[in-house]
Structure 1
Amino acid sequence: MSTSASAGSSPALEAHNKLIDWVRSHGGSISDSVQVSQDSTRGVHLQVKADWPDSIPKETRVISTPVGITLSYFNAIDHHHHQSSSNGVSFPSHGVVFPRAFIDAVGPEETMTFFLMGQFLCGESSFWFPYLRTLPQPGQLTTPLFFGEEDVDWIQGTGIPDASVQRFRLWEGRFDESIAKLEEVEFENVDSYTWELYLWASTIISSRAFSSKVLAGAVPDEDLSDGDGVSVLLPLVDLPNHRPLAKVEWRAGEEDVGLLVLEEIAPGQEISNNYGPRNNEQLLMNYGFCLANNPTDYRIVKLGVLANSPLMEAKDRQRQLYPELATPNEDTYYIFSILYPLLARDTPMEHTIVSPALFNALTVMEGNQRERDMIEITESGIRIPPAYGTGHSTLAALSQISFELIAHIALLKDSAEGLPAQPANLNQMHTHIYRNGQIALDQAALIITSWSLTRAREQQRGETGDDIKTLLNDHMARIPADLLSEEILSRIRVRILERESVVPKNGILFRLTELFTLLPTEMQGPSQKHFNHVFDRAAQVIPVVRSVPNLLFGTLLCLLAATYRSQAPLPARLTRWLEFLFEAYPPPSVAGSSLAVDNEIDTLLAAFDEFVTVEDATRWAADDGVTWLVNDSGWLDMNWLRWAWGVVEAETVLVPPEPLQILGGGPVQMLRQACLYVP
């Protein structure tokens, strides 16, 4: 037994011991401070020996793999160094040779896949047999393409089925084309290159291969550029398991590729690799495992943008302005885990959960025409810049993402109905981790977005530190006990309290009755009495009026506008807002002004006009104590009502009234409550 191995033995450990001996026989090495071990949770892995006297320091080279035993496209083409090169590394094909016509036709990626298949078919006679026998064998892989029928039930409702179908079709097409080319060139033993073996080889490469950069020290630049897209298998270097944020480096040399640890690791501790900031969906699709509480977890959101939408028009304009950005690929939009560590210090709170590209896209999609006229298109992105009045698009984006989160949580929970209480195998266990991680990610994101909406709707509390903490305590108290870990809840609190928000102030979303508070105190009671008086009378003739938010909000806006036009003294906030609306939406007294309203509102408007005259409105107002209105103020005038209802249609935000209700496991209700945005 090799001195590199841990106590005890198994077929897997024996195979890895022989791999170590093989690597050493070709000039490679493994540090005396480490050993290969195996247990039920981590499988075969690398760790610092438990009896090693000290932690291994930074810059320790734990593994060196000779360039001559790497496996890549360069071996498939039997690549030899140029005579002028300073190094003398060659990449023999070791007995598996494909016709050049096949290689040129299918390209480096497929050539590598078929070369790996060919070496596997060589069995013990393969040069790489000591390495190949340590890999998961056909039938042992755990990515979703190899799931059994009962395992597939566990991924329903997630993004895995679509991703699996897409990958299956891509690989199937490539396999068919490659086999057809092999048959065309009359390659011997083509029948041995089966679809099942192709799936195995493709999965091994996608899960274990490194980029050609690891050969940069051994392959001249001009040769390396010939192999763009080349994947390289590194025997032994690919042994360590993945740990997010592990500090390691793969160092390319002229004669070997070294794995160096860039942090101290104590005796008995595992030595991990770092595949990069992979989310659980990538880990499951490419590697067949997931990580509970994966700090680099996120999920992709698909917007389904229509070709003639404002967002797509803005994207087309961006490509015209910056032709080098032209690409057939749609932007990728993310929702991040609250644990995600790779965040800029000055990133707004909401953008740490909803990627800036997604947030900005939603503001364009959900903003009104007034805001979209302000779109800022640069090489780096498309957005509605912050300014007085653009908070409507911000709040509408927050609402829309909240609805999406609620719907996705419900989908994940509903699709899990009928599954066994506990996973029955490793595939199901990792899928269970993935599904629960997606739900927890969504739940934390919903707590953040709904907090921002809660602040926007808060009309009572101020914005001192104590006010915010009290409001936050009330918000967090609505989260069911034991739903999320203390670590997650603490991260949410810190994120809310320490980061700037895209919602600049409390109290910028108003329910109907809250709008009266914008008036001076002495005007509030009479105005509300008069408003109710009008609608009580209207409901007797047109019963539906009380159930149409635009009618209610629009009529109240008409009253506020009439109060302003009557030159009644108004608070600065209300005055500024009304003057802003008059400029953005020219009122009926301005020549050429018009605001479109939908047919239903137009019909109700006509009925409303028949129900009340200006004389009635003036008389009722005086009776209710609204004595400040003048005859030409426009109160309940047909044209001013049309203007007000059109403004309301553009400036209303539909928010989820109880967004955190989904956290309690109750029935999902996608209700939308109309609120008017007042900056």
Structure 2
Amino acid sequence: MDAAARIATLVDWATSHGASLHPAVEVYQDPATGFSFRVKPSSDAPLAPWERVVSLPTSLSLSYLNAVSAASSSPSSTASSPASFPSDFLSKTPPHVVGRLFLAKQYLLGEGSFWWPYIQALPQPHDVDDWTLPPFWPADDAELLEGTNVEVGLEKIRADVRKEYNDASELLKLHGSERDKAISMQLYQWAYCIFSSRSFRPSLVLADKDQQNLPQGVRIDDFSVLLPVFDIGNHDMTADVRWDLQVDGPSCCELRVGREFGPGQQVYNNYSMKTNAELLLGYGFMIPESDGLHNDYTHVRKRTSTPNKASEEYYISRRPMDHPSSTLGRYRQELTVDLPQGKHMVGAFRHVQPDMVWDIFCTLTPPNERARILPISSTPTGSDEGDEEKKRQQKFFSGDVEEGSEAHAALEHTMAIIQHKVMQELERLEETDVEVPPGAEEALTRNQRLALEYRQRCRTVLENTLESMGVEGEEYV
């Protein structure tokens, strides 16, 4: 079946069950982005901001909820319905794993599945190159990501998926149907990649009444949900979008974009603020760098006081965090540093998330010593501790400290720690570097090209950061 027939099958099925596209919008096959939304080239007018692009009844969604519903409607606990799983299996398996296995089972049902028109429009399990994300690349391709800051994520995903599949398979051998036992590791990996690259958080796209029948102990965001047709919109991190829920009558989720799109233009969704590292791991693509936008950040994990437990991450940016093109960097700055007019941030800190810098300083200086080390001018009556902390941050980030003082020593120590960390990351990258012989570029696979491009992006982030520690006022690439 060619692309046009697959699109027609999907759209006809969805609209016959209550979905709708804006009259000026169509689904088409884009050479670079695959199935996509666009304003019809023949349209007489543009798509205006905030007009409804697509409306999808949430009854067409596919997730763990459908597996639970199928089992509860089965006449016995052995779940004789071909769409369901045994109740014992459901009670012992994490919801997100059940959702993936339910998708795999629907694939095996073929045209007998209610969702077959949707599933046939997805990348198919046998077309491995069309759906594999980096964790499941061939070993020679995945090896090119060693030494980058996605290496740990790759290994964790592989290990988690292997364990999930093995645990589920053991349960299904005891209680499942023959079709359940036919779900292979590759088919589970396919389902993982489909959910990773196309799914939505249920709490954002499902109405309250769709969330009422969860089993005890299961929270609404313990799994993800697939939205046929709705998920065709590709990612634009600069797009202002709304996922509006309509609950009068059958619940529907609507995509609206706060931007005008002219005839022939692709209409985008926004998957939320994600770095290129996150997009590569979870979606298999990266956002190109331009003068007005970059999305290259090195992730640095912050360790908690609990051994071997990582919590939040910090970000090191290709360009200064406050640069107009650092869209995600400015969005992710939980700690906002408002420097006084006429002052500039110390060069060593410009590419680093301010939270990371301040946390390092706070680690070096006990709370009861901070006021003495970083004295500030008197604050107005009625000001709180937050105002005083902000003034100290301004002094520290601008380097407004007396040379030879304890504050100056702490400033230099903080800079040295950041420099050491960045150099460590760069050395790790160089130790695993790969040289492509002249003339061999044409033989590289898509995965290999993507991995080598990502390596270079990581290198640029780290080199720009080190450069900013020694030179201020430079141009950034």
TM range (shorter): 0.7 to 0.9
Secondary structure at the aligned position of 1:252 is classed as strand
Partner of 2:224: 231
Alignment of 1:439 onto 2:425: no
5+ unaligned residues in a row in structure 2: which ranges?
A: 73-79, 320-324, 340-344, 375-384
TM-score by length of 1: 0.55
Partner of 1:336: 317
In 1, Cα distance between the equivalents of 2:191 and 2:373? 48
Secondary structure at the aligned position of 1:165 is classed as helix
**In the TM superposition, what is the alpha-carbon distance from 1:374 to its structure 2 partner?**
6.6
Q: Residues 291 and 433 of structure 1 are in contact (CA less than 8 Å); yes or no, is this contact kept in structure 2?
A: no
**In the TM superposition, what is the alpha-carbon distance from 1:171 to its structure 2 partner?**
1.5
Deviations 1:29-61 (A, max 9, x none): 112212223343233321112232222111111
Paired residues for 1:126-525 under 5 Å: 126-138=113-125, 139=128, 140-217=130-207, 219=209, 222-223=212-213, 227-254=220-247, 255-293=251-289, 295-302=294-301, 329-338=310-319, 339-342=325-328, 343=330, 346-347=337-338, 349=345, 353-364=351-362, 386=396, 389-420=406-437, 422=441, 424-451=444-471, 472=473, 476=474, 488=476
Distance 1:116 1:211, change over 3 A: same
Distance 1:199 1:417, change over 3 A: closer
Q: Residues 142 and 427 of structure 1 are in contact (CA less than 8 Å); yes or no, is this contact kept in structure 2?
A: no
Distance 1:435 1:347, change over 3 A: farther
**In the TM superposition, what is the alpha-carbon distance from 1:119 to its structure 2 partner?**
0.4
Secondary structure at the aligned position of 1:38 is classed as strand
5+ unaligned residues in a row in structure 1: which ranges?
A: 1-9, 82-92, 306-311, 317-325, 453-471, 477-485, 490-679
**In the TM superposition, what is the alpha-carbon distance from 1:186 to its structure 2 partner?**
4.9
Larger RCO, structures 1/2 (Cα 8 Å, 6+ apart): 2
Distance 1:248 1:389, change over 3 A: same
Paired residues for 1:533-612 under 5 Å: none
In 2, Cα distance between the equivalents of 1:78 and 1:330? 35
Secondary structure at the aligned position of 1:193 is classed as coil
In 2, Cα distance between the equivalents of 1:433 and 1:371? 46
**In the TM superposition, what is the alpha-carbon distance from 1:189 to its structure 2 partner?**
3.5
Partner of 1:556: none
Distance 1:285 1:374, change over 3 A: farther
In 1, Cα distance between the equivalents of 2:308 and 2:212? 27
Output the amino acid matched with 1:446. Answer: L
Output the amino acid matched with 1:416. Answer: D
Partner of 1:461: none
Distance 1:450 1:169, change over 3 A: same
TM-score by length of 2: 0.77
Q: Residues 213 and 252 of structure 1 are in contact (CA less than 8 Å); yes or no, is this contact kept in structure 2?
A: no
**In the TM superposition, what is the alpha-carbon distance from 1:123 to its structure 2 partner?**
1.3
Aligned length: 416
**In the TM superposition, what is the alpha-carbon distance from 1:149 to its structure 2 partner?**
3.5
What RMSD in Å do the two structures reach over aligned CA positions?
3.5
In 1, Cα distance between the equivalents of 2:373 and 2:6? 61
Output the amino acid matched with 1:231. Answer: S
Distance 1:365 1:67, change over 3 A: closer
Partner of 2:75: none
Output the amino acid matched with 2:117. Answer: P
In 1, Cα distance between the equivalents of 2:245 and 2:41? 29
In 2, Cα distance between the equivalents of 1:270 and 1:52? 13
Query: Quick one: percent identity of the two aligned structures?
Result: 27
Distance 1:336 1:31, change over 3 A: same
Partner of 2:379: none
**Aligned partner of 1:117 among 72, 93, 104:** 104
**In the TM superposition, what is the alpha-carbon distance from 1:122 to its structure 2 partner?**
0.6
Partner of 1:509: none
Q: Residues 292 and 437 of structure 1 are in contact (CA less than 8 Å); yes or no, is this contact kept in structure 2?
A: no
**In the TM superposition, what is the alpha-carbon distance from 1:287 to its structure 2 partner?**
1.0
In 2, Cα distance between the equivalents of 1:43 and 1:285? 19
Larger radius of gyration: 1
Distance 1:416 1:13, change over 3 A: farther
